[in-house]
Amino acid sequence: MSDTHPQAGSTVLSIKDLHAWYGESHVLQGIDIDVKAGECVTLLGRNGAGRTSTLRAILGLVGKRTGSIRVAGKETIAMPPHRIARLGLGYCPEERGIYASLTAEENLLLLPKVGEGGMSLDQIYAMFPNLKERAHSPGTRLSGGEQQMLAMARILRTGANLLLLDEITEGLAPVIVQKLGQVIRELKASGFTLVLVEQNFRFAKHLADRHYVIEHGRVVETIDGADVAAKQGRLDALLGI
């Protein structure tokens, strides 16, 4: 794997006082988040809290946004989405976006490069052996778990080093969830930086360096991975567990 990741400890994503709107709806109301190179952080919260909107705002996919979003030191608040992506961002949306009429391998080869050092097909197939077996199967023939693996694998081909992953475990069998956890650990060990929106806290809590709890479009709690056990009661109350 190519060593093109930002230096460990440097800030890859810095969000200050981020507000965002869909039309008249003011969905983010002053988000503050910092993510360093090689970290995995989660955005936790109830449905409608603003977690997915935060990912979409990072990418410029909301109607209007104000505040500051710096990616690898570059201010992006006024940039169009295609320029933001080319700073090395990879987005795996909740709906996955697999092209049904293309084979798994054609889906993998579809996205443009956004950075140097994207994974080769051999590297991807080593990480996701299921996809190698299904390389020539149409997107419609893949299981939900295989589609999720394909959606993640596709952004690894592009050279992205900051991965925004939205609800990647939703609706998947426990064995697939376990595999995705293993993949995230491998990616983190290889220097990728990850931001996870995740409903499945049991999955996320062992993977993340830090958890941001979002409520009504604001970060209401920041909990380090090492402090989760001590703050479990607070988390349960915030997340309605």
Q: What is the separation, in whole angstroms, between the first and last Cα of the chain?
A: 39
Instruction: Please give the pLDDT value at position 3.
Output: 52
- CA atoms of 157 and 144, how far apart (whole Å): 20
Instruction: Please give the pLDDT value at position 97.
Output: 85
Residues of the domain holding 137: 38-48+87-239
Q: Under a CB-based contact definition with an 8 Å cutoff, are residues 241 and 201 in contact?
A: yes
- Return the sign of the alpha-carbon dihedral for residues 77, 164, 212, 216: positive
Q: Is residue 210 part of a domain?
A: yes
- CA atoms of 236 and 68, how far apart (whole Å): 31
Q: What is the CATH number of the domain that holds 146?
A: 3.40.50.300
Q: Is residue 30 part of a domain?
A: no
Q: Is residue 230 part of a domain?
A: yes
Instruction: Please give the pLDDT value at position 236.
Output: 86
- CA atoms of 201 and 211, how far apart (whole Å): 10
In this prediction the pTM is 0.92
Judge whether residue 1 has pLDDT over 60: no
Instruction: Please give the pLDDT value at position 8.
Output: 66
Q: Express each pLDDT in 38-72 by its tens digit.
A: 999 999 998 899 999 999 999 999 999 999 999 99
* The total number of structural domains that make up the chain: 1
Instruction: Please give the pLDDT value at position 139.
Output: 86
Q: Express each pLDDT in 195-205 by its tens digit.
A: 999 988 889 88
Q: Is residue 112 part of a domain?
A: yes
- Lowest mean pLDDT across 62-76, 88-102, 177-191: 88-102
Q: Is residue 170 part of a domain?
A: yes
Q: Is residue 62 part of a domain?
A: no
Judge whether residue 7 has pLDDT over 80: no
